[in-house]
Structure 1
């Protein structure tokens, strides 16, 4: 792909690198790896420039701009991607947003090529819960929590940041209007649109994400979502046969509860410590996750 130039009202110029664009999120935004220039002077490193158009089917200006509004409203946090620059092309019906560039990609891709040990998984769980606590305390739910929306910042230790806030909503508005999410990770109340929809849907999505990361990395063969989740999209239930009996007991504690108790069970599984999830791999059991 040929290099493109993007001009910001801030005075900075962004030159895309000759690499394939990335499509991100439910809104189909494209992300360009760019070199930023202040005047004629290049700035160190690279940035990610995301372009979203509200000419796409099902989108309007308010929906597209909600991502920038959310990022402007949420207090800075080490686990949330930084919005470095943004502008709107009203004539072209496009929103431009500039973020830090993370060379290692997202957690989904990373987990397919790297073994994540139990200690790392435990620390990652606490890290993600801390990010969600921050979001929720600022009055927002991410709504589309999944490994693809967690960018790998560092690997020793493993650190992630949340990205793609196009689906983020104020918690008080979750019961109103459409909700853009990824069905395979979404909580039951979002699918049925019955009962109260609140910020606990983020915890459900994180546990579903954790299940996918665990099964995908410990499987004897490479598994995609269609193998991890049975008959998707007709049946949105995970294939729990891939997880042993102790793992299913934990799953029942985490997922088969009301949204009001989901947060507590996410942090304190079954009310017992230690607790170990075991994955059945060929003829022997392999330890997967340790709450000790």
Structure 2
């Protein structure tokens, strides 16, 4: 067991003995709802005595174990010291219905709010976010933890221009090497190695099923396969970072689901395998280099025909394509770590033609007042 993991367990046992009951309204002025999900809800509040704004995270006691609550709290309090990780504020208590802890409040929403459908966000803002997330994930990995739930809703904005973002929501965090049931769900964020669990009792057919827990009848449950147990690895976070970056640049996803029967994913797999070769040495994939020897240059062509670039990646420069192939390698053992992605910053990621198209889309949207974030669009029932 890693030292950090052992210390985290010890902190949870100590905190369990000192967790006290408290009335939220006595100490806080609750202002508004910041977010909610299967875990519970987050409320913006002001500490009445200190006048400090903070986010209160409420976990229903009926569906949350005390240990899982304390684990997330202590992880955020004691280990999330990187500036791009959301940190707890040392306030944890219980009410008759909830466990609650206070954390830093990000007053500008989350990344989901600024990604425009079919357009994405400005390339320089995207690179700023990627740089910060690389640091945050690398910090967690260095301590022996994997986030396992990187997505736009869990990246919080400290300013409207994404100059400072914070990765949060540590409820899915596990120690590297922990044995867990593999889960497949219909989403581009689900890594390809998870497909071995497709159809098993822990998996979902859609992201909405994952969030709300759709009930099944006895016949359907009987068709489910047994659990598949796997080891938690940092490569899961690398895959999610690659998909998130694609979403930031384009306002869409490269494929609907990472599955062997998804045509758009198969197109990518064909290009990825052909460009690097299934038998490529690991070193050749950790830091892709071309004939020039520069990181980010397209690999030198091999003998025989090379599959054309997957259509959904044709709008990117060679530098960006290498970035994506490093993080989105279908083989987890050869997938680059987040810190390797830093090699691809400070260069152009989007082709001039695509940049001109995106700018035209932004102008058109500004002109007719039709700019809407992904969340606003989905809130109206659109797709």
Which of 138, 150, 156 does residue 155 from structure 2 map onto?
150
TM-score between both structures, scaled by the size of structure 2: 0.55
* 8 A Cα contact 2:155 2:166, kept in partner: yes
User: Unaligned stretches of 5+ in structure 2?
Assistant: 1-20, 198-227, 269-309, 360-383
Shift in alpha-carbon separation, 1:133–1:252, aligned structure 2, 3 A: closer
Matching residue of 2:328? 255
Matching residue of 2:196? 192
Relative to structure 2, which stretch is displaced further, 262-271 or 162-171?
262-271
Structure whose residues are more often helix by fraction? 2
Superposition pairs of residues 82-121 of structure 1, within 5 angstroms: 82-89=87-94, 92=97, 94-112=98-116, 116-121=121-126
Q: Distance in 2 between the 1:163 and 1:83 partners?
A: 10
Shift in alpha-carbon separation, 1:70–1:241, aligned structure 2, 3 A: same
TM-score between both structures, scaled by the size of structure 1: 0.70
Q: Distance in 2 between the 1:139 and 1:111 partners?
A: 31
Superposition RMSD in Å: 4.1
Matching residue of 1:170? 175
Q: Distance in 2 between the 1:72 and 1:179 partners?
A: 28
Deviations along 1:93-115, one digit per CA (max 9) or x if unpaired, are: x3201112222100111223997
Q: Distance in 1 between the 2:61 and 2:185 partners?
A: 18
Q: Distance in 1 between the 2:177 and 2:340 partners?
A: 24
Shift in alpha-carbon separation, 1:119–1:213, aligned structure 2, 3 A: closer
Structure whose residues are more often strand by fraction? 1
Which of 24, 35, 39 does residue 46 from structure 2 map onto?
35
Higher RCO (C-alpha under 8 Å, 6+ residues apart)? 2
Larger Rg: 2
Q: Does 1:230 align with 2:241?
A: no
Q: Distance in 2 between the 1:265 and 1:52 partners?
A: 30
Query: How many pairs align?
Result: 260
* 8 A Cα contact 1:184 1:236, kept in partner: no
Q: Does 1:55 align with 2:62?
A: yes
